[in-house]
């Protein structure tokens, strides 16, 4: 409030309401606020101000009509305009922006789509999965809510629907939405702090750390059947290459023909397909080159190494059932192949930094800043030795099977 300067009252305004006058008349309330009464009795609030001192021209902005905009509300708008002036902002521009935001506020879906467009599309290889999760679990329930009015309890209702069937997925959904809201806040697109205090444990549970490694017997089965007839060609190929390179599923699922250099025999995973957002270079060992050439020629018209792109959920579901089809007693997942790859290579004496680069991990500490070497000769040597180990394990297993049958 601008103390001691308010001159108008509700009583005096009501007496003037609808009264015709010979010309437009202005009545001041103080601190720039005045009301204009037109010839036909329409009463309109205005705020007058100057930018640049008394020598500058006076500007006037319309605040609204009385009695739709009450005396109290008009004074509040005046005080807001004075605050903007004190901050060096033009009240005319600020009022226009505020009115637009009030009439058409940023919705939850607007904010999520802004994050997808401006960040996830360029930084996340699994952006399609993020979009599907939002369309399934968020948009149908709170997508149209104004973001600023969407409370924590509204978000929790969405997460609870997911938690009942997939508590780990609910945790991932929370983390994704928190990152999206932070991105919107940092980029001054929209502001919401509704998720700030929530943790994964509040909406679901964290992914349990796995320590599953394959036995020699299991690895021999996987290696043999990845080139056999037990699985459909797409899945057999992806399983075969997951074993060879110890890579992530999405790196192969999204892999394009153009990533495979069949002259220098280098597979380059672009940063947009990499979880860490960095380019990964992997040499192609000689033993696997005929297999890659076959895939290349078979699928070159599609532009994709595997000929098509399947959804990550389909591959994960298929991967969870492999152990049964191979007769293994203990469950395992496709991601466990990476752990087996890493552990075996380290046990074989391969330098840890070479193994980490083959896995697509970034080097830590100072090495991440100054060491830009791709260690291609060392990687090739490691993969050649790994291929030899796979053939040795497979041969040993085959011999044992033959002996058992003979007995």
In contact, 236 and 227? CB cutoff 8 Å: yes
377-388 average pLDDT score: 95
Give the tens place of pLDDT for each residue, 235-245. Answer: 999 999 999 99
Dist. CA 359–CA 357, nearest whole Å: 5
264-282 average pLDDT score: 90
Tell me: pLDDT of 404 over 70. Answer: no
Number of residues that make up the chain = 407
Q: What is the mean pLDDT of the chain?
A: 87
Dist. CA 136–CA 154, nearest whole Å: 15
Q: What local confidence, expressed as pLDDT, does residue 406 receive?
A: 41
Give the tens place of pLDDT for each residue, 78-111. Answer: 999 999 888 888 888 888 777 766 556 889 999 9
Tell me: pLDDT of 342 over 70. Answer: yes
Give the tens place of pLDDT for each residue, 30-68. Answer: 999 999 988 878 899 999 998 877 778 889 999 989 988
Q: What local confidence, expressed as pLDDT, does residue 3 receive?
A: 46
User: Domain 216-406 carries which CATH code?
Assistant: 1.10.443.10
Dist. CA 82–CA 90, nearest whole Å: 10
Give the tens place of pLDDT for each residue, 288-319. Answer: 999 999 999 999 999 999 999 998 889 989 99
Dist. CA 153–CA 194, nearest whole Å: 9
**Ranges of each domain in the chain:** 10-100, 108-203, 216-406
Taking domain 108-203, whether its CATH number is 3.30.379.10 is answered by no
pTM over 0.75: no
Dist. CA 350–CA 386, nearest whole Å: 10
User: Domain 10-100 carries which CATH code?
Assistant: 3.30.160.390
Q: What local confidence, expressed as pLDDT, does residue 364 receive?
A: 57
Distances (CA, A) of 266 to 98, 280, 338, 356, 387: 55, 10, 20, 17, 16
108-203 against 216-406: fold identical: no
Dist. CA 405–CA 407, nearest whole Å: 5
């Amino acid at each position: 409030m601008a103390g001691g300067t308010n001159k108008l009252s509700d009583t005096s305004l009501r007496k003037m309401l609808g009264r015709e006058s010979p010309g437009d008349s202005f009545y001041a309330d103080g601190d720039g606020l005045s009301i204009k009464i037109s010839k036909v009795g329409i009463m309109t609030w205005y705020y007058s101000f100057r930018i640049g001192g008394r020598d500058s021209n006076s500007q006037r902005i319309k605040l609204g009509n009385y009695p739709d905009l009450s005396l109290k509300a008009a004074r509040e708008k005046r005080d807001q305009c004075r605050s903007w002036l004190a901050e060096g902002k033009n009240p005319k521009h600020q009022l226009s922006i505020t009115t637009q935001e009030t009439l058409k506020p940023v919705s939850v879906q607007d904010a999520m789509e802004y994050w997808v467009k401006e960040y996830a599309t360029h930084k996340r290889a699994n952006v399609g999965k993020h979009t599907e999760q939002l369309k399934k679990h968020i948009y149908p329930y709170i997508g149209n809510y104004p973001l600023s009015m969407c409370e924590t309890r509204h978000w929790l209702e969405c997460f609870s629907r997911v938690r009942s069937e997939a508590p780990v997925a609910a945790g991932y959904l929370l983390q994704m939405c928190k990152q999206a809201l932070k991105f919107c806040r940092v980029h001054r697109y929209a502001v919401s702090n509704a998720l700030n205090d929530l943790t994964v444990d509040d909406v679901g549970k964290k992914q349990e750390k796995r320590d599953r490694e394959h036995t020699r017997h299991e690895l021999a089965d996987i290696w043999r059947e990845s080139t056999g007839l037990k699985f459909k060609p797409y899945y057999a190929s992806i399983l075969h290459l997951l074993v060879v390179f110890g890579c992530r599923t999405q790196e192969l699922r999204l892999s394009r023909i153009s990533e495979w250099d069949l002259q220098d025999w280098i597979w380059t995973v672009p940063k947009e397909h990499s979880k860490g957002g960095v380019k990964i270079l992997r040499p192609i060992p000689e033993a696997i080159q005929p297999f890659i050439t076959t895939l290349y020629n078979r699928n070159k018209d599609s532009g994709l190494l595997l000929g098509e792109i399947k959804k990550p959920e389909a591959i994960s579901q298929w991967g969870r059932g492999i152990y049964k089809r191979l007769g293994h007693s203990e469950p395992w997942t496709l991601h466990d192949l990476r752990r087996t790859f890493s552990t075996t290579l380290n046990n074989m004496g391969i330098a840890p930094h070479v193994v980490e680069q083959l896995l697509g991990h970034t080097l830590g500490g100072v090495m991440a800043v100054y060491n830009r070497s791709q260690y291609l000769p060392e990687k090739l040597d490691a993969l050649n030795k790994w291929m030899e180990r796979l053939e040795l394990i497979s041969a040993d297993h085959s011999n044992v099977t033959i002996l058992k049958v003979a007995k």
